[in-house]
Structure 1
Amino acid sequence: MPEPNDLLRAAREHTPSRRAPGEHMSRGELADAICAWLWDTTEIKYELDGHYIAKLERGAVRWPGAAYRSGLRHVLDVAADNELGFFPPSGGSALEPDLAPPSMIGHDDDLIVAGDESIALLSFAEQSNVGELTVEQLQADIERITQSYLRTPTRQLFATSRAIRDRAFGLLAGNQSPRQSRDLYSAAGWAITLLAWMSVDLGRPDIAESHTRTAWACAEAADHDVLRGWIRATQHTAAFWQDDFARAAEYAQDGLRYAAGTARLFLASAASVDLARIGRTDKARELLEVAQTLNVRRAGTEPGGLFVCTPERAGGLWADTYLAFGEAQLTAEHADHSVALFEAAPYALRNVGSERMARLQQAKARLILGELDGALEAVEPVLDTQPEYRVRPLIQRLAEVAALTAPYGRSAKTRMLRDRVVEFTQRPELPARPTANGFAAMEAPRIYSVRRTREDQA
């Protein structure tokens, strides 16, 4: 049985009802007040009711999402989360995000089926089956996918990665030398790791974990440390976007045992973010210092693109760490440097996904520092992202930027930013529907309304 959150219940029962004089605030009234405040400050509609407040008071969720915690602090008039019995998760505590708009609609069936297929291949990957093939073409295809990720529609690259995985396993059923077998397991492992990373971006990090288990078996069969390092990086990313920062840190730190090439830079930087978020500040600073002093070179077997950590990509992670420390000025400095390095690099070599995240770190730092105009300038290129590249983590980070505009009231500039964010989140990629001739037909997306329309207000 979870331990009841007596502090939260006591805070609610000491808060006078706004509806019934002489009574304390009910759970339903508290939920309504939070939703009203969140709408006034962010113009994003949250679905919160008395049942969820009861869930919090029972202790079933010990760390609700950031927006809900902010609303609870405001309505119950407390300064810190711990006054309401909320403490950052340390591995086993229940937690729950408060933002759920998917970045892409209509993908769940494909993602679930692909994850199930990778699970089905796990037992096969753990055996010593062999096959006959030169894997140069498979490796070239993997490099092309990693280098064109978030430049080419994700659905197309997802299908190609899936085909590479299946082809590699099909070839392993034949006869070949042990060296060729290891090459095929390596190709399959990279392809499955791609499927896992894309599953995170498509809003299903839970399915990503199914892929990574089979990818790890492939890396073991290939005895491939570079692949092991990037699988751990992907497992970190899947846990991170489920707000399980303790588990994300474990994956990242374990990956440092194997990592060669630039994966080591990514893992040390990512672990510092995770540890900072769960309050392990000393260890976070230690790993941040390690990351900032690393002198790494790209390993010959790193496919590039998505699976390379450049100084500018690492700089964006360092900015996130300083943000978790509450050091907005250092966040701004590292985010600015990261963006400058991205802009100086040849476009073909830029990781556009990491660049967009660095720009949002710029925007967050500017808002915390009281520089609304600077935040608007930083976020503008992100808001121009085409719908097919609006992945789930990007939408979540952009909504966090919008939430930080609350201190600026409802000025014209603030309203403009919030309107742009609402428009951005309402226009995910158009889902493709398979047709008889094998091509994809585009459907109009279902719109998840997060802002009142004129008809709603009438």
Structure 2
Amino acid sequence: MSESNELLRAARERTPSPNTPGAHLSRAELAEAVCAWLWATTDTRYELDGHYIAKLERGAVRWPGAAYRAGLREVLHVATDSELGFNQAGASGPLAPEATSCSMAGMEDKLIDAADQSISLLALAEESNVGGLTVEQLHADIQRIAQNYLKVPTKALFQRSLAVRDRAFKLLGGRQPPQQTRDLYAAAGWALTLLGWMSVDLGRPEVAESHTRTAWACADASGYDELRAWVRATQHTTAFWQDDIDHALDFALDGLRYAAGTSALFLASAAALDLTRAGRTDEARAMLDQAKRTKPDPSVPELGGLFLCTPERAEGLWSDAYLTLGQPQLTLDHANHSVALFESAPHALRNPGSERMARLQQAKAHLLLGELDGAREALTPVLATRTEYRVRPLIHRVSEVAALTRSTPYADDPKAQSLQAVIREFTRFPATTRDPLDEIAQGEPDTTTGSSRRKSLSKR
């Protein structure tokens, strides 16, 4: 008999019912909330019900699919699968219903296409070729994608970004008032910027250049400075992960000309890191001071997620800069504060990618300070990252930690060698080695939804 999952049951029973005052969440209410969240974030219908929740609580299914796990974490307000008693090593029982149900077999693409077509028909329901509801829908899609990146499987979000880009450009081919034209260019620009960032994370920064080049043209056409700033931030990131630090710095500094919201905090922090990598120490320290003094304008609308630089995200960048400056104690101080802020933030507002990078700065600083156990502790949550979220920059940074464990004084330390073995296994499976949603055997459905670098800013 399977062991019951008391952690999942306890999490459900401490969550208030939205329908019955004083009662806890029922299994049916939990299933309904998860399905609603998945629909809102992926535009895909799922067939989760109270009976399947009962199977999970009985332990008949120990490892539901990635989408269900993401939805359960969100609704039950936890950060990790283990807090809900899910353990892949202990997976048993029948496949999840999304793998065995025949009512949806072969229908996923048609459902998404139908949803896209319905949204596109808003244009026909309004007086002009595009109206306020159509533009609002495009921008709502962008916000949802940005806020859920690295929290739900990437493929659906990538496809949604493509759909927004294509729909915006199709509508631009018609006639609309000037303000709506600017808003459509903005929607296309944000979608292209998302595609650029995702391409970097999936190990193809050279592909990202094509997206961000067009995104910059859209940002110019829209006239929105905050979009210009985040395009430059993405171009900085694209150049940075190709070790083209000079161009990365150019992009960051140019972006600061347009930044007023939290993009100003990100770009100043990124420029400080670029200056340290370029060996321009005095300028780097001055830029770090500027970043720490930066106060984003609270009146600037923020999309959130990728396009939001919180204090904890900025401190992660500062810790990286101090590491390059050869100051491991300051690196650790800023990384510790960054992680503490991430851990105290509401789960829905945490940026998992930036949080993992801050934990890796903790690990590096501990190693440089001779604290192997501290490094192991900092690294443990990172090594629990699911395969579909092991983006290339994360793999790169984890490999840097491994390199430190092979250096003196850790070369012959059994604990360091054990850590190296765990890291080797982790880096064998980056997110790009297989389709992020290709987990049919584990009960996960297919949820598919419908260049040379320029040499100067004057040419961009």
1:130-167 C-alpha deviation (Å, 9 max, x unpaired): 95232111111111111111011112111110110000
1:305 & 1:248 partners in 2: Cα distance? Answer: 22
Kindly report which structure 2 residues correspond to 1:372-383, keeping only aligned pairs within 5 A, or say none: 372-383=372-383
For 2:306, what is the secondary structure of its paired residue? coil
- What corresponds to 2:189 in structure 1? 189
Q: In 1, are the aligned partners of 2:315 and 2:334 still within 8 Å (CA)?
A: yes
- What corresponds to 1:168 in structure 2? 168
2:272 & 2:324 partners in 1: Cα distance? Answer: 10
1:207 & 1:365 partners in 2: Cα distance? Answer: 33
Q: In 2, are the aligned partners of 1:132 and 1:171 still within 8 Å (CA)?
A: yes
Residue identity (%): 62
- What corresponds to 1:421 in structure 2? 423
Instruction: Report deviation, 1:416.
Output: 1.8
For 1:427, what is the secondary structure of its paired residue? coil
- What corresponds to 1:316 in structure 2? 316
Matched, 1:132 2:130: yes
Question: What is the number of equivalent residue pairs in this alignment?
Answer: 310
Which segments of 5 or more consecutive residues in structure 1 lack a partner in the other structure? 1-129, 443-458
2:320 & 2:175 partners in 1: Cα distance? Answer: 48
1:227 & 1:278 partners in 2: Cα distance? Answer: 27
Matched, 1:143 2:143: yes
1:279 & 1:208 partners in 2: Cα distance? Answer: 27
Counterpart code for 2:343 = E
1:149-206 C-alpha deviation (Å, 9 max, x unpaired): 1011112111110110000111111111000110110000000000000000000111
Counterpart code for 2:254 = D
For 1:404, what is the secondary structure of its paired residue? helix
Instruction: Report deviation, 1:358.
Output: 0.2
Which segments of 5 or more consecutive residues in structure 2 lack a partner in the other structure? 1-127, 449-460
Q: In 2, are the aligned partners of 1:131 and 1:173 still within 8 Å (CA)?
A: no
1:216 & 1:131 partners in 2: Cα distance? Answer: 25
For 2:412, what is the secondary structure of its paired residue? coil
Counterpart code for 1:137 = Q
1:283 & 1:398 partners in 2: Cα distance? Answer: 28
Instruction: Report deviation, 1:427.
Output: 2.1
1:409 & 1:197 partners in 2: Cα distance? Answer: 36
Q: In 1, are the aligned partners of 2:245 and 2:274 still within 8 Å (CA)?
A: yes
Counterpart code for 2:333 = E
- What corresponds to 1:347 in structure 2? 347
Instruction: Report deviation, 1:297.
Output: 3.8
- What corresponds to 2:413 in structure 1? 411
- What corresponds to 1:105 in structure 2? none
- What corresponds to 2:72 in structure 1? none
Matched, 1:249 2:249: yes
Matched, 1:395 2:401: no
- What corresponds to 1:455 in structure 2? none
In the superposition, the TM-score normalised over structure 1's length comes to: 0.66
Instruction: Report deviation, 1:225.
Output: 0.1
Instruction: Report deviation, 1:426.
Output: 1.3
In the superposition, the TM-score normalised over structure 2's length comes to: 0.65
- What corresponds to 2:213 in structure 1? 213
2:219 & 2:187 partners in 1: Cα distance? Answer: 9
Kindly report which structure 2 residues correspond to 1:11-410, keeping only aligned pairs within 5 A, or say none: 132-134=130-132, 135-298=135-298, 300-406=300-406, 407=408, 408-410=410-412
Counterpart code for 1:156 = A
Counterpart code for 1:365 = A
For 1:410, what is the secondary structure of its paired residue? coil
Counterpart code for 2:419 = L
Q: In 2, are the aligned partners of 1:190 and 1:215 still within 8 Å (CA)?
A: yes
Q: In 2, are the aligned partners of 1:260 and 1:299 still within 8 Å (CA)?
A: no
For 2:220, what is the secondary structure of its paired residue? helix
Instruction: Report deviation, 1:282.
Output: 1.1
1:441 & 1:291 partners in 2: Cα distance? Answer: 40
1:314 & 1:243 partners in 2: Cα distance? Answer: 20
Instruction: Report deviation, 1:441.
Output: 9.6
Instruction: Report deviation, 1:299.
Output: 5.2
Instruction: Report deviation, 1:410.
Output: 3.2
Counterpart code for 2:427 = T
Q: In 1, are the aligned partners of 2:395 and 2:430 still within 8 Å (CA)?
A: no
2:182 & 2:299 partners in 1: Cα distance? Answer: 18
2:238 & 2:412 partners in 1: Cα distance? Answer: 35
Instruction: Report deviation, 1:245.
Output: 0.9
Q: In 1, are the aligned partners of 2:129 and 2:176 still within 8 Å (CA)?
A: yes
Instruction: Report deviation, 1:298.
Output: 4.8
Q: In 2, are the aligned partners of 1:185 and 1:221 still within 8 Å (CA)?
A: yes
Root-mean-square deviation (Å): 1.9
For 2:279, what is the secondary structure of its paired residue? coil
Q: 1:298 to 1:189 in 2, by over 3 A?
A: farther
1:351 & 1:277 partners in 2: Cα distance? Answer: 25
Q: In 2, are the aligned partners of 1:226 and 1:299 still within 8 Å (CA)?
A: no
1:131 & 1:178 partners in 2: Cα distance? Answer: 13
Q: In 2, are the aligned partners of 1:388 and 1:428 still within 8 Å (CA)?
A: yes
1:385-410 C-alpha deviation (Å, 9 max, x unpaired): 00000000000000000000122023
- What corresponds to 2:103 in structure 1? none
Instruction: Report deviation, 1:440.
Output: 4.1
